[in-house]
Structure 1
Amino acid sequence: MLIVAALGGNALLRRGEPLTARTQRANVRTAAKSLVELVRAGHQLVITHGNGPQVGLLALQGAAYKPEEAYPLDVLGAETGGMIGYMIEQEIENAIDHERPVATLLTQVVVDRNDPAFSNPTKFIGPVYSKAEAEAKAAAAGWRIAADGGNWRRVVPSPVPKEIPDIHVLKLLLDQNVIVICTGGGGIPVLRRNDGSMTGVEAVIDKDAASALLARELGADALLLLTDVDAVYRDLNTQAAAPIHKIRADQARRLDMPAGSMGPKVIAGADFADTGGISGIGRLEDALAILAGQAGTLITRTDS
């Protein structure tokens, strides 16, 4: 079975943890152990991951330079893809004792220049702030900010991913039984010019949406959206809250889910399930059990 496993931010950094290489390395090491269980069970594996805190940190570092010297978000996305991919690649190799080749591919993802997301930024990046801190930074740097739970963060455009031009390279790697790490942070956002050439654009693509597109284009059998929550919950934050163990894609789309957290995962899972594959949402350490329907939430096209 070909599985695309999308690592949520908890695989790299939990809320409240310092954004250090040591912290991220320790979390990635834990994630690698769970992912290798899928490989040892006989599955082919493609790994994707988020980059919100990391790309935001690089943007903050860039603010120390002159405005014309700061790197745009597409370049920062490529930098974080290399950094995080390196950590995941090395820890997967260590966990599997170098029995399988592992490779990281920086992945371009085409978006539409007319996507309304460019005028309505919603993607959280960078660290959390109090409202006063966020407003001060926004005024100084020209940011857009929004509430993220009880905190405030910078928001940037998050256009819908349309095409993965590097898909043929990914297929070549999979044909050679390589464990592939790709589409990091939702991929590097690019626009396709009228002459067919491509150029980067200021945006950060949603990792779950890009992972669903990747799974579809690869013809994957399953998409696992792995996080620190054990399942999708109905009536979340109420006394009637209850985990959903299995749901059809059309029913999943009607759930009222938080837009900044579980909502994108449910929509991405439903989009992939509509193609006939299985989508699973749940805790990273339950990856194999989710696949077997023994944990998490499964999203399928039909009830069977």
Structure 2
Amino acid sequence: MNAILLIDKPAGISSAEVVRRVKSRVKPARVGHLGTLDPFATGLLPIMIGEATKLAPFIDGGDKTYAGLIRLGVETDTLDRDGAEVRRAEVPAISTDKLAQVTAQFTGAIEQVPPVYSAIKRAGVPLYRLARRGDDVAPPDKRSVEIKRLDLVCDAPDAIRFVAICSPGTYARSLARDIGIALGTVAHLDELRRTRNGSFSLADAIPLADVLESLDSGAPTLRTINLRDALVGLPELVVDTTAEKRLRNGDSRALDSQVPINGPLFKVISQTGELIAVARATSRATAIVERIFNLET
């Protein structure tokens, strides 16, 4: 299997555990995922199998859409419901005007401090590992992110429901913390569900239990996304069998004078419609091959 599976991840397991469970059923194929979801979070987790694992550098930069619940009045060390309580504060009455003000404050380009419990590395070690072993971990540096759309609605006196469309690298847990502070209290993320990851939609995802059941059947009938279709938006160049053979032998000059003018990245497609390579135009007549895909394996 060389394809992308869109999985609806349940709460309670890590993204790495989803990969492990799928890999145990499709080995020896390689398996990876796009866009980590925290264990408490649910929703869209694209799983790459086989040659699809080579696609990550080309499709992992899209916007993400999240829906969730911010719980006010309690902050945790992980900034989510799985963490230990570290602070409590009174929750003021939240007016419609105040909520609109905070919505505007966090819409657009903002700066946020990622959580200490994150995969950001310090001296090669993920911060969450340092924090879990009791080290005194300084917060990561601020980073610039973009919230392209933010909807906030009071769900209860101590709860705010939200929908956010945000740039890669945005931490929903940090957003919850900062919104709590802006509302005059503290907060943590109580629920999180990813509904979109780049061009992939939760509407096309399959519950993890159903995916595993199908793989266990020995004759899986799963909806998958092939490599060509996964690279939405990249222009295509269809080459003949002679050029394909040259490319597979490492000769990128096979693309000379055939480079699409609307590059720079483009897909190279075989006569049978399969993805052969992703290439980068270096001029209007030459290109460098970034990845070769061996779908016959």
Which range, TM-score by smaller chain?
Answer: under 0.3
Greater C-alpha radius of gyration: 2
Provide TM-score, normalisation by structure 2. 0.27
Provide TM-score, normalisation by structure 1. 0.27
Q: Which has the higher strand share?
A: 2
Q: Which has the higher helix share?
A: 1
